[in-house]
Amino acid sequence: MELIKGGVTSAKGFKAACTAAGIKYKGRTDMALVVSDVPATCAGTFTSNVVKAACVKWDMDIVNSGRKMSAVVVNSGIANACTGREGYEACEKTAKAAAEALNVDKDGVAVASTGVIGMQLPVDKLENGVKAMAPLLSESIEAGTDASKAIMTTDTVNKETAVSFTIGDKKVTLGGMSKGSGMIHPNMCTMLGFLCTDANVSKNVLQEILSDVVKDTFNMITVDGDTSTNDTLLIMANGLAENEEIIGKGEAYDKLYEAVYSVCEYLAKRMAGDGEGATKLFEAAVVNAKSKNDAKLMARSVVGSNLSKAAIYGNDANFGRFLCAMGYSGAQFDEADVELYFKSANGTLKVFDHGVPLSFDEDEATKILSADAVTVYIDMNEGDAKATAWGCDLTYDYVKINADYRS
Amino acid sequence: MELIKGGVTSAKGFKAACTAAGIKYKGRTDMALVVSDVPATCAGTFTSNVVKAACVKWDMDIVNSGRKMSAVVVNSGIANACTGREGYEACEKTAKAAAEALNVDKDGVAVASTGVIGMQLPVDKLENGVKAMAPLLSESIEAGTDASKAIMTTDTVNKETAVSFTIGDKKVTLGGMSKGSGMIHPNMCTMLGFLCTDANVSKNVLQEILSDVVKDTFNMITVDGDTSTNDTLLIMANGLAENEEIIGKGEAYDKLYEAVYSVCEYLAKRMAGDGEGATKLFEAAVVNAKSKNDAKLMARSVVGSNLSKAAIYGNDANFGRFLCAMGYSGAQFDEADVELYFKSANGTLKVFDHGVPLSFDEDEATKILSADAVTVYIDMNEGDAKATAWGCDLTYDYVKINADYRS
Range A84-111 burial, b when 16+ CB lie within 10 A, else e: beebbebbbbbbebbbebbebebbbbbb
Quick one: pLDDT at residue A184? 61
Residues A265 and A286 in one domain: no
DSSP lists the bridge partners of residue B387 as B286
CB hemisphere CA count around B406 (13 angstroms):
20
Characterize the bridge pairing of strands B192-197 and A170-179: unpaired
A320/B402 touch (CB, cutoff 8 Å), yes or no: no
- How far, in Å, are B59, B79, B93, B271 from residue B55 at the CA level? 6, 9, 12, 21
- CA-nearest residue of chain A to B311? A403
Residues A221 and A360 in one domain: no
Last residue of a domain, one of A272, A295, A314: A272
Q: What is this structure's pTM?
A: 0.81
Quick one: pLDDT at residue B230? 84
Where does residue B242 fall: left (phi above 0), alpha (psi -120 to 50 degrees), or beta otherwise?
Answer: left
Quick one: pLDDT at residue B180? 79
Quick one: pLDDT at residue B157? 87
B306/A224 touch (CB, cutoff 8 Å), yes or no: yes
Residues B68 and B180 in one domain: yes
Rounded to a whole number of angstroms, the distance from the CA of B139 to the nearest CA of chain A is 37
Q: Cβ(A155)–Cβ(A179) under 8 Å?
A: yes
Q: What's the complex ipTM?
A: 0.77
B84 touches chain A (CB under 8 A): yes
Rounded to a whole number of angstroms, the distance from the CA of B374 to the nearest CA of chain A is 15
What is the DSSP code string of B283-345?
Answer: EEEEEEES-HHHHHHHHHHHHH-HHHHHHHHTT---THHHHHHHHTSS----GGG-EEEEEET
Backbone phi and psi for residue A243, each to the nearest 5 degrees, phi listed first: -70, 160
Quick one: pLDDT at residue B139? 97
Quick one: how far is CA B37 from the chain centroid?
25
B357/A407 touch (CB, cutoff 8 Å), yes or no: no
Q: Cβ(A131)–Cβ(A97) under 8 Å?
A: yes
Whether pLDDT at A188 is above 70: no
Burial label for A66, CB within 10 Å (0-12, 13-18, 19+), is exposed
A353 touches chain B (CB under 8 A): no
**For residue B340, which of B325, B358, B362, B314 has the smallest C-alpha distance?**
B358
Residues B215 and B288 in one domain: no
User: Among A59-68, A157-166, A179-188, whose mean pLDDT is lowest?
Assistant: A179-188
Q: Cβ(A95)–Cβ(A69) under 8 Å?
A: no
A319/B118 touch (CB, cutoff 8 Å), yes or no: yes
Burial label for A372, CB within 10 Å (0-12, 13-18, 19+), is exposed
Whether pLDDT at A406 is above 60: no
Characterize the bridge pairing of strands A232-237 and A192-197: parallel
Quick one: pLDDT at residue A402? 76
Q: Cβ(B218)–Cβ(B190) under 8 Å?
A: yes
- Chain A residues lying within 8 Å of B326, measured CB to CB: 50-51
A357/B318 touch (CB, cutoff 8 Å), yes or no: no
d(CA A122, CA B6): 58
d(CA B89, CA A130): 71
A281 touches chain B (CB under 8 A): no
**What is the domain extent for residue A383?**
281-403
B328/A48 touch (CB, cutoff 8 Å), yes or no: yes
B323/A228 touch (CB, cutoff 8 Å), yes or no: no
> Which residues, at least 6 apart from B48, have a Cβ–Cβ distance to it below 8 Å?
A328, B187, B188, B227, B231
d(CA B241, CA A285): 56
Residues A223 and A332 in one domain: no
Rounded to a whole number of angstroms, the distance from the CA of B84 to the nearest CA of chain A is 5
Catalytic sites of B, residue numbers = 190
- More confident: B332 or A154: B332
For residue A122, what is the domain's CATH number?
3.60.70.12
Q: Which H helix or E strand runs over B352?
A: strand B347-353
B224 touches chain A (CB under 8 A): yes
- Chain A residues lying within 8 Å of B356, measured CB to CB: 83-84, 86
**For residue A112, which of A193, A23, A203, A176 has the smallest C-alpha distance?**
A193
Residues B301 and B257 in one domain: no
pLDDT 10s digits, A318-327: 898 899 899 9
Interface test with A, best of B402, B404, B406 (most A CBs within 10 A): B402
- How far, in Å, are A47, A181, B41, B126, B146 from residue B28 at the CA level? 50, 42, 32, 15, 11
- Chain A residues lying within 8 Å of B400, measured CB to CB: 396
* Percent of chain A topping pLDDT 90: 73
**For residue A333, which of A282, A300, A377, A297 has the smallest C-alpha distance?**
A297
Residues B348 and B368 in one domain: yes
Which of B49, B318, B394 has its CB closest to that of A399?
B394
pLDDT 10s digits, A44-61: 999 888 889 999 999 999
Quick one: pLDDT at residue A273? 82
- Chain A residues lying within 8 Å of B404, measured CB to CB: 314, 316
A328/B187 touch (CB, cutoff 8 Å), yes or no: yes
Residues B207 and B298 in one domain: no
Determine the straight-line distance between the first and last CA of chain A, rounded to whole angstroms.
45
Range A343-364 burial, b when 16+ CB lie within 10 A, else e: bbebeebebbeebbbeeeeeee
pLDDT 10s digits, B105-151: 999 999 999 988 889 999 999 999 999 999 999 999 999 999 999 99
- Chain A residues lying within 8 Å of B306, measured CB to CB: 224-226, 306, 398, 402
Quick one: pLDDT at residue B188? 38
Helical spans, DSSP H, in A217-369: 251-273, 292-304, 306-313, 320-327, 362-369
A114 touches chain B (CB under 8 A): no
- Chain A residues lying within 8 Å of B185, measured CB to CB: 328
Quick one: pLDDT at residue B57? 95
Query: How many other CB atoms are there within 10 angstroms of residue A26's CB atom?
Result: 7
Residues A327 and A225 in one domain: no
Single-letter residue type at B85: R
**For residue A234, which of A176, A319, A187 has the smallest C-alpha distance?**
A176
Q: Which H helix or E strand runs over A356?
A: strand A356-357
Which of A187, A305, A357 has its CB closest to that of B328?
A187
A119 touches chain B (CB under 8 A): yes
Residues A168 and A262 in one domain: yes
Quick one: pLDDT at residue A396? 82
Quick one: pLDDT at residue A239? 95
Catalytic sites of A, residue numbers = 190
Where does residue B103 fall: left (phi above 0), alpha (psi -120 to 50 degrees), or beta otherwise?
Answer: left
Quick one: pLDDT at residue A407? 43
Quick one: pLDDT at residue B122? 97
pLDDT band at A190 (very low <50, low <70, confident <90, very high): very low
Rounded to a whole number of angstroms, the distance from the CA of B361 to the nearest CA of chain A is 14
B154 touches chain A (CB under 8 A): no
Interface test with B, best of A121, A181, A226, A359 (most B CBs within 10 A): A226
B250 touches chain A (CB under 8 A): no
B225/A306 touch (CB, cutoff 8 Å), yes or no: yes
d(CA B109, CA B270): 27
Rounded to a whole number of angstroms, the distance from the CA of B280 to the nearest CA of chain A is 14
State which residues of chain B have pLDDT below 70: 181-190, 223-226, 404-407
pLDDT 10s digits, A191-226: 798 999 999 999 999 999 999 999 898 888 876 666
Rounded to a whole number of angstroms, the distance from the CA of A170 to the nearest CA of chain B is 43
d(CA B199, CA B56): 25
B50 touches chain A (CB under 8 A): yes
Residues A254 and A309 in one domain: no
Number of domains in chain B: 2
Which of B51, B328, B356 has its CB closest to that of A327?
B51
pLDDT 10s digits, A120-142: 999 999 999 999 999 999 999 99
Q: At what angle do helices A251-273 and A203-216 cross, to 10 degrees?
A: 40
Interface A–B counts its CB contacts (< 8 A) at 220
Q: What is the DSSP letter of B168?
A: T
Which of A50, A224, A323 has its CB closest to that of B82?
A323
- Chain B residues lying within 8 Å of A339, measured CB to CB: none
Quick one: pLDDT at residue B223? 66
Rounded to a whole number of angstroms, the distance from the CA of A394 to the nearest CA of chain B is 7
Greatest CA span in chain A, whole angstroms?
A: 69
- CA-nearest residue of chain A to B83? A356
Last residue of a domain, one of B238, B272, B306: B272
Quick one: pLDDT at residue B265? 92
**For residue B32, which of B11, B7, B13, B49 has the smallest C-alpha distance?**
B7
B342 touches chain A (CB under 8 A): no
B399/A403 touch (CB, cutoff 8 Å), yes or no: no
Q: Cβ(B167)–Cβ(B5) under 8 Å?
A: no
Q: Cβ(A178)–Cβ(A193) under 8 Å?
A: yes
d(CA A260, CA A237): 12
A228/B305 touch (CB, cutoff 8 Å), yes or no: no
- More confident: B213 or A186: B213
B226 touches chain A (CB under 8 A): yes
Helical spans, DSSP H, in A20-154: 54-65, 84-102, 123-133, 141-150
Q: Which of residues 175-194 of B touch A (CB under 8 A)?
A: 182-183, 185, 187
Backbone phi and psi for residue B248, each to the nearest 5 degrees, phi listed first: -170, -175
A363 touches chain B (CB under 8 A): no
B357/A118 touch (CB, cutoff 8 Å), yes or no: yes
d(CA A375, CA A381): 18
Residues A237 and A145 in one domain: yes
d(CA B341, CA B339): 7
Last residue of a domain, one of B272, B303, B331: B272
DSSP lists the bridge partners of residue B170 as B167
Interface test with A, best of B117, B280, B319, B353 (most A CBs within 10 A): B117
B326/A395 touch (CB, cutoff 8 Å), yes or no: no
